[in-house]
Amino acid sequence: MKASIRRRLDRIHDRFEEITGLLADPQIQADNDRFRALSQEYAQLEPLVTCYRRYQQAEGELAGAQELLDDPEMAELARESLEEARQRLARIEPELLKLLLPADPNDQRNVYLEIRAGTGGAEAALFAGDLLRAYLRYAEQRGWRYETISESPGEHGGYKEVVVRIRGQAVYSRLKFESGAHRVQRVPETESQGRIHTSAVTVAILPEADTIDQIEIDPNDLRIDTYRASGAGGQHVNKTDSAVRITHLPSGIVVECQDERSQHKNKARALALLQARLLDSARRTQEQARAADRKLQVGSGDRSERIRTYNFPQNRVTDHRINLTLYKLEEILAGDLDLVIEPLLQEHQAEQLAELSAA
C-alpha cells in the first residue's frame, strides 16, 4: 500500500476515534444538531475503519509469521500462516480502496428526468417515448416512484419533451450517466422503402435540490405565466388556467408544470424544477472546468455528447464512452438498464481507483 494512502487511512481512523469519544460526551448528546451530524459522520466512516482494522490485523499476523520463520520448530507453521496473511491482505486491500473512494454527494438524491426529441422529427418523438418507458420500467423494478411534471406529446405518438420526477433510494447514483444524446437507427413505420433513419433524443438527469443547498432566486428575476393545461379531456381541462410556466430571466431557463389541478401546486413544483436546473448548470460549469476531458463526462451533464446508439436492425446497443456493445436492445428497452448501467459504474470506479493510486 502506498504511503500516501496509509497516511490518509490513519487520519480517518484518528477522526473516527475522536468522534467515538465525542458521541459519549453528555454535552454533545444534549446538542441535537451536533449529535446528529457526528452520528452521520460516524456511520459514514465506520465501514472504512472496520475494514482498515482488518487490514492492520492481517499485517500484524504477517509480521508475526515472518518472525517465526527463523525458528526450525515453527518454520512450517509460520510459512502456512504467512501465506494465509498474504492472501487476506490481497483480498482486503481492493475492498479498502473502494471504501476510500470519494462519494458523490448527489448519489442519494431524487432526480428530474428530462427527455427531449432532437433531430428526426416524429421518429425522434417516438423514440423519446420508448426511452421514457424503459426508464419508468427500470424505476418500477427498483421500487422507485415517479410523477410526470410536464409533457408535450408528439404528433404521431411519443413526446417532443417530457419531464418526470423519480423518487427512491439512490436514484441519482444509478441514472447519473444517462445524461447525453441518445441516437436511434431504425426503419420508421412510415418508411415505404425500408430505409434506416437516424434520429436523436437528449436525456438530462438533474439531482433534486435539497433545502440546504438551494440557490436563492430573486422573485424579480422570474416571469410567471399561467395557461390552460392540455390533456385527454374531461370537465377540468381547458376551463381553468392551472398550468404554470416560469422563465428565469437571467439564465433564460424555462420550466413548466401542468400535472396538478391546483395552480399553487404547479407553481411549487415548477420552482423546485427550476432550482434543480440552476444547480445542475452551476455543477456542470464547475465539472467542465475541472474535468472536461474525462471519458465518462462524469457529472458534466454534457448533453451535446453522443453517449449511446440503439440500432434496431441489429438489436444492438453501443455505449460510446466505454466502447460497450450489447446485442440486447429489446431487453434494455424493456427496462433491463443494469446491462448498461453496471459497466458504466464499474468503469467510473476503476477511474477513481486509478486516480487514488496515482495521488
Query: How many Cα atoms within 13 Å fall on the side-chain side of residue 241?
Result: 6
Stated pTM of the model: 0.67
CA distance 121 to 156: 10
- Let me know: does 201 contact 122? Beta carbons within 8 Å: no
- 305 pLDDT band, cuts 50/70/90, is low
Q: What is the pLDDT of residues 103-157, one digit of tens each?
A: 788 888 899 999 999 988 889 999 999 999 999 999 999 999 999 988 999 988 9
The DSSP secondary structure of 82-134, one letter per residue, reads HHHHHHHHHHHHHHHHHHHSPPPTTTT--EEEEEEE-TTTHHHHHHHHHHHHH
CA distance 201 to 120: 9
CA distance 115 to 128: 6
The reported pLDDT for the residue numbered 300 is: 38
Query: Is the confidence at residue 188, as pLDDT, over 90?
Result: no
Backbone phi, then psi, for 317, in 5-degree steps?
-125, 130
- 214 pLDDT band, cuts 50/70/90, is low
Instruction: Enumerate domains of the chain plus CATH numbers.
Output: 3-100 (1.20.58), 111-350 (3.30.70.1660)
- Let me know: does 158 contact 130? Beta carbons within 8 Å: yes
Q: Specify the 3-state DSSP secondary structure of 308.
A: strand
- Let me know: does 104 contact 176? Beta carbons within 8 Å: yes
H-run or E-run covering 224: strand 222-227
- Let me know: does 279 contact 273? Beta carbons within 8 Å: no
H-run or E-run covering 275: helix 263-291
Least confident of 143-147, 173-177, 246-250, 259-263: 259-263
Q: Which three cell numbers stand for residue 272?
A: 423546485
The reported pLDDT for the residue numbered 288 is: 63
- What mean pLDDT is predicted for residues 55-72? 86
- Let me know: does 242 contact 266? Beta carbons within 8 Å: yes
Strand order in the sheet with 316-319: 145-153, 159-167, 111-117, 197-207, 180-186, 306-311, 316-319, 324-326
Least confident of 10-19, 186-195, 227-236, 271-280: 227-236
H-run or E-run covering 307: strand 306-311
